Structure 1
Amino acid sequence: MIPHGRPTFDIHDIARRAGVSPSTWRRRHHAAFAAAVRPLPGSERPIIYDAAQVDAHLAGEPLPTLPQGQHPDDLLTDAEAGAVAGLSASTIRSDAVTGTMDPGVERHGRRWWTRAAAEARAARPTEYKGRTVGAKDKAPRTRPDHRAAEVATELKRADEGQRAAVTADEIAEFYDVSVRTAERIIAKARTAASTS
């Protein structure tokens, strides 16, 4: 999370601020810096730091504290915005692309969303809200295959001796599908018949 109104630096910005190359910064200064200055919560790839804390460290001054609490203009990662909205990070990214959510802003090579946008997404009516985080419903979202019901009827007729045995070749020819697809239809029909 990037607190509202706080400038931020990644490792390249910090090296520039210190007047050295990124490789020199990593080799000579980063270990001491990382021991003194904590990255902003939730920052990964790239790891980012509060600019005021970076400047204070480089000047040898005490680090200022970060603002506490939540503000509507705090910038959140996709995972953080998803936690606020009750959705997965991938749904947040997808909604931003399709326009059902604020597109966010880009900083340090990744996209961020305001807390207000995430809260607005959580309050949106559930016409289709995406799979919620931790959802346990793994049921298929496809419609039942009408062919399986029709083949189940023919299988029942064959069991009763009213017709010859149902074969995959016959089903493949009738529905104009491959023999393997016909075998799947027969398997579905048998499963449906055994559960009904």
Structure 2
Amino acid sequence: MIHPSRRHLVRTRELLAQDMGMAMGTFRNKKPYATEGFPAPISSDGARVLLWDGGQTAAYLAGEPVPALPAMDGPEVLLDRQEAAAELGVTPRTWDGYKTDPRLTRHVVDVCGVEHWPRSAVRAFRDARPGKQSAAGRPKGRTNAVPRGELRARVAELLDASPAVTIADVRGALGVAAATAQRVLSQLRGERIAALMEADPGLSFDQAAEQLGYPAAVRRAARDVAATAAELGA
């Protein structure tokens, strides 16, 4: 996480090497940032690019006490890919699909070549996702108003928003029968698993389902669909 007031202080490996007067090759070999007491990165665990707070690293290199960072609980704190995914309760791979949404692209912030998003924008996107109101169930008296030709697209939106979306979620959001919700969810999941396996032949069915974020409990119904789709594409 990056506090917006300290964005200008962010340091990459390359910038740290310059600060320490090291050639990049030497920096890579010695990994001075792994030394005990060196300030921890401000990028998330598993981040592709490590980032540090320059105020902290400068103090450390000068032999001075390392200052504490500001509180990181505000709405404008910048989140990287992993942190944004965690805020939504999805995998980073799923976030990669979400981040192309215009509601997020207009808020993206480039920090030393790494995409970040304000927590407020991530939460606004989360709260506006399809199906967020489904937990309360279908409003009393609501009719099945989803045209048949739009059903797949509407269910696909729910699945995009939450790979673990349930039959109950679909019923609550769209007012369809349980059997219909199960059928369309299974079809969509199966087709997407087959497409991913075709793109990456080394993946097993379960590995592809895992990458897409589909819980084990829903995979059985999608397996036959995926097998059929694979046969048709062969």
Q: Smaller-chain TM-score range? A: 0.5 to 0.7
Query: In the alignment, which residue of structure 2 is the partner of 1:110?
Result: 114
Give yes or no for the alignment of 1:96 onto 2:96: no
1:26-37 matches, cutoff 5 A? 26-28=28-30, 30=32, 33=35, 35-37=37-39
Query: In the alignment, which residue of structure 2 is the partner of 1:14?
Result: 16
For structure 2, the 5+ residue unaligned runs are 132-156, 168-184, 190-227, 229-234
Given the superposition, is the C-alpha separation of residues 133 and 63 from structure 1 closer, same or farther in structure 2, using an over 3 Å criterion?
Answer: farther
CA distance in 1, matches of 2:15, 2:35: 14
Give the helix-richer structure, 1 or 2.
2
TM-score by length of 1: 0.60
Given the superposition, is the C-alpha separation of residues 60 and 81 from structure 1 closer, same or farther in structure 2, using an over 3 Å criterion?
Answer: same
The letter for the 2-side match of 1:5 is S
For structure 1, the 5+ residue unaligned runs are 143-183, 185-196
The alignment's C-alpha RMSD in Å is 2.9
CA distance in 1, matches of 2:115, 2:53: 17
Query: In the alignment, which residue of structure 2 is the partner of 1:3?
Result: 3
Q: Is the 8 A contact 2:85 2:95 kept in 1?
A: yes
Query: In the alignment, which residue of structure 2 is the partner of 1:54?
Result: 57
User: Could you tell which deviates more after superposition, 91-100 or 60-69?
Assistant: 91-100
Residue 2 of structure 1 aligns to a residue whose secondary structure is coil
Residue 106 of structure 1 aligns to a residue whose secondary structure is strand
Query: In the alignment, which residue of structure 2 is the partner of 1:132?
Result: 162
Given the superposition, is the C-alpha separation of residues 132 and 13 from structure 1 closer, same or farther in structure 2, using an over 3 Å criterion?
Answer: same
Given the superposition, is the C-alpha separation of residues 94 and 32 from structure 1 closer, same or farther in structure 2, using an over 3 Å criterion?
Answer: closer
Q: Is the 8 A contact 1:72 1:115 kept in 2?
A: yes
1:173-196 Cα distance to aligned partner (Å, 9 max, x none)? xxxxxxxxxxx7xxxxxxxxxxxx
TM-score by length of 2: 0.52
Q: Is the 8 A contact 2:43 2:49 kept in 1?
A: no
The letter for the 2-side match of 1:74 is V
CA distance in 2, matches of 1:32, 1:97: 34
Question: 1:45 Cα shift?
Answer: 1.9
CA distance in 1, matches of 2:161, 2:4: 29
CA distance in 2, matches of 1:124, 1:40: 28
CA distance in 2, matches of 1:66, 1:135: 37
Structure showing greater Rg: 1
The letter for the 1-side match of 2:116 is W
Question: 1:48 Cα shift?
Answer: 1.0
Residue 141 of structure 1 aligns to a residue whose secondary structure is helix
Residue 99 of structure 2 aligns to a residue whose secondary structure is helix
Q: Percent identity?
A: 24
Residue 140 of structure 1 aligns to a residue whose secondary structure is helix
Question: 1:69 Cα shift?
Answer: 3.8
Number of corresponding residues: 143
Q: Is the 8 A contact 1:84 1:119 kept in 2?
A: yes
Given the superposition, is the C-alpha separation of residues 17 and 79 from structure 1 closer, same or farther in structure 2, using an over 3 Å criterion?
Answer: same
